[in-house]
């Protein structure tokens, strides 16, 4: 099927692309998105192929499974090995810890169950009071209100959370820090995930234009949303007036979802958090407040796992560079050789939202620098 026939309204897309070409600066510009769903939209619809050569879009840390730190996966494994019923999403149980994944622990007899939501885990705890049920709670601001609600709705005493939630804006700020340190990351604008903004609103993104002068656009997930977000970023750049624009205004309200934020803040407090292969990012994680400590699996089961940071990723896996956009999947020596969707080695290939997994399906060719193209054979 010709590329543009996949678009809901290809005439609109064509007109926006024409506008992008007219407004594109002569220099190379690089826009960063931080969402696995955005990467799927971009790769699946070949958006990189219809942009001018000097506009590059790359993926930042937008896959919750990929950035879940190995220490917290080891905590989940420890629970499953010690008689606890461990529940989590399908992708999460396949991600390798230091030696094994939760799925392998299940094959060895551990009680690991895949659920579609935290509600499934609560129901299991209600039906089976003889089990101790833990939900391994991963995800960004989009999933946090649901796990907070499970607690506020008084889940049974045999239910608790292993909280591994992370926050998106601090990770975006880390990328700007990497850029300022001269690490191979160039960011001329952010495409921010619409679903996160649905919860937190626009205000947490203001610091990017105000402090760093970086144009930011909140975008939806249709091809036309992403393409229009790029046009909006270029407009901000050309007018030299960086700000936060809301392309996804049909869904995102400036203040987000106050009820969801209230629920989140009632149950969780902001803490520092580790990100797999990256390290600790200040103010990027959510811990359960003292008031709800009985639902905190770390306290309830007195977990004390220590992990050497050097073991965070398998040998030769470059997920830490992929996650911050400092490399593209084909730059990894294992990509589509020993690491592929059937036999994933690193977390970015395991998860359907991981950049390596997405690229393996859609084989991106454009959006690469000349040096990168020379280095790899696609
Ligand atoms: Fe890691 Fe596999 Fe991606 Fe290489 S291709 S960075 S091993 S997930």
Q: Is 332 in the pocket of ligand 1 (CB under 6 A)?
A: yes
Ligand 1 atom index nearest CA of 344:
2
Q: Are residues 83 and 222 in the same domain?
A: no
DSSP SS3 for 368:
coil
Q: How far is the CA of 347 from the centre of ligand 1 (A)?
A: 7
Q: Are residues 84 and 163 in the same domain?
A: yes
At residue 377 the predicted structure's pLDDT band, cuts being 50, 70 and 90, is very low
pLDDT, one tens digit per residue, over 4-54 is 455 556 778 888 999 999 888 889 999 999 999 999 999 988 888 889 988
Q: Are residues 28 and 76 in the same domain?
A: no
Lowest-confidence segment of 130-139, 270-279, 302-311 by average pLDDT: 302-311
User: With contact defined as beta carbons under 8 Å apart, do 30 and 247 qualify?
Assistant: no
Q: Are residues 114 and 162 in the same domain?
A: yes
Among the three residues 274, 289, 305, which one is the final residue of a domain in this structure?
Answer: 305
pLDDT, one tens digit per residue, over 332-353 is 999 999 999 999 999 999 999 9
Q: Residue 33 maps to which CATH number? A: 3.40.50.11750
Average pLDDT over residues 250-273: 97
Q: Are residues 44 and 77 in the same domain?
A: no
Q: Are residues 180 and 111 in the same domain?
A: no
Q: How far is the CA of 312 from the centre of ligand 1 (A)?
A: 13
Ligand 1 atom index nearest CA of 321:
6
Q: How far is the CA of 231 from the centre of ligand 1 (A)?
A: 31
Task: Please say if the pLDDT value at position 1 is more than 50.
Answer: no
Q: Which residue has the higher pLDDT, 45 or 201?
A: 201
Q: Is 335 in the pocket of ligand 1 (CB under 6 A)?
A: yes
| Domain with 160 in it | 65-167+256-305
Nearest CA to ligand 1 atom 5: 335
Q: Residue 150 maps to which CATH number? A: 3.40.50.11740
User: With contact defined as beta carbons under 8 Å apart, do 328 and 368 qualify?
Assistant: yes
Instruction: Supply the mean pLDDT for the chain.
Output: 91
- Looking at the 3D structure of the chain, how many domains does it have? 2
- Please name the residue ranges forming H helices in the chain: 10-23, 36-44, 47-50, 64-67, 70-81, 90-94, 102-107, 118-127, 144-152, 168-180, 194-200, 207-212, 223-238, 258-267, 297-300, 319-323, 347-350, 355-362, 370-375
User: With contact defined as beta carbons under 8 Å apart, do 189 and 329 qualify?
Assistant: no
- Tokens 């560079």: give the residue: 321
pLDDT, one tens digit per residue, over 78-104 is 999 999 999 999 999 999 899 899 999
Average pLDDT over residues 104-120: 97
pLDDT of the residue at 340: 93
Q: Is 358 in the pocket of ligand 1 (CB under 6 A)?
A: no
pLDDT of the residue at 378: 39
pLDDT of the residue at 376: 45
Which long-range contacts does 117-124 make (Cβ < 8 Å, 24+ apart)? 117/146, 118/146, 118/147, 118/150, 118/161, 119/146, 119/150, 120/87, 121/87, 121/150, 121/159, 122/150, 122/153, 122/155, 122/156, 122/159, 124/85, 124/87
Q: Which residue has the higher pLDDT, 13 or 365?
A: 13
Q: Which residue has the higher pLDDT, 22 or 232?
A: 232
Which two structure tokens, joined as six digits, stand for 203? Answer: 């205000």
pLDDT, one tens digit per residue, over 277-299 is 788 999 999 999 999 999 999 99
| DSSP assignments along 18-32, one per residue | HHHHHH--SS-EEEE
Average pLDDT over residues 293-321: 90
d(CA 163, CA 267): 11
Q: Are residues 276 and 300 in the same domain?
A: yes
At residue 365 the predicted structure's pLDDT band, cuts being 50, 70 and 90, is low
Q: How far is the CA of 175 from the centre of ligand 1 (A)?
A: 20
Q: How far is the CA of 342 from the centre of ligand 1 (A)?
A: 13
Look at residue 365 and tell me if it is in a domain: no
């Amino acid at each position: 099927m010709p590329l543009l026939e996949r678009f809901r309204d290809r005439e609109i897309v064509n007109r926006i692309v024409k506008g992008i070409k007219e407004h594109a600066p002569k220099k190379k510009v690089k826009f960063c998105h931080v969402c696995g769903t955005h990467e799927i939209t971009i790769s699946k619809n070949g958006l990189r192929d219809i942009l001018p050569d000097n506009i590059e879009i790359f993926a930042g840390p937008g896959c919750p499974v990929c950035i879940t730190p190995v220490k917290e996966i080891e905590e989940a494994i420890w629970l499953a090995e010690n008689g606890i019923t461990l529940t989590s999403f399908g992708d999460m149980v396949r991600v390798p810890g230091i030696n094994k994944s939760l799925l392998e622990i299940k094959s060895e007899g551990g009680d690991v169950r895949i659920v579609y939501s935290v509600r499934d885990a609560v129901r299991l705890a209600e039906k089976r009071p003889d089990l101790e049920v833990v939900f391994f709670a991963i995800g960004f601001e989009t999933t946090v209100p649901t796990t907070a609600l499970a607690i506020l709705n008084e889940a049974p005493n045999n239910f608790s959370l292993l909280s591994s939630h992370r926050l998106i804006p601090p990770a975006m700020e880390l990328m700007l820090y990497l850029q300022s340190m001269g690490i191979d990351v160039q960011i001329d604008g952010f495409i921010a995930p619409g679903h996160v903004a649905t919860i937190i609103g626009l205000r947490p993104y203001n610091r990017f234009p105000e402090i760093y002068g970086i144009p930011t656009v909140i975008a939806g997930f249709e091809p036309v949303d992403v393409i229009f977000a790029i046009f909006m970023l270029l407009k901000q750049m050309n007018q030299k007036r960086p700000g936060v624009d809301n392309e996804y205004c049909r869904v995102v309200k400036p203040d987000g979802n106050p009820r969801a934020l209230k629920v989140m803040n009632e149950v969780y407090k902001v803490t520092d958090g580790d990100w797999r292969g990256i390290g600790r990012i200040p103010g990027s994680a959510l811990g359960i407040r003292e008031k709800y400590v009985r639902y905190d699996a770390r306290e309830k089961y007195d977990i004390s796992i220590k992990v050497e940071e050097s073991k965070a990723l398998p040998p030769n896996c470059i997920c830490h560079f992929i996650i911050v956009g400092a490399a593209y999947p084909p730059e990894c020596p294992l990509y589509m050789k020993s690491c592929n969707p059937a036999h994933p080695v690193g977390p970015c290939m395991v998860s359907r939202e991981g950049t390596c997994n997405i690229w393996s399906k859609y084989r991106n060719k454009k959006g690469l620098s000349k040096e990168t193209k020379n280095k790899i054979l696609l």
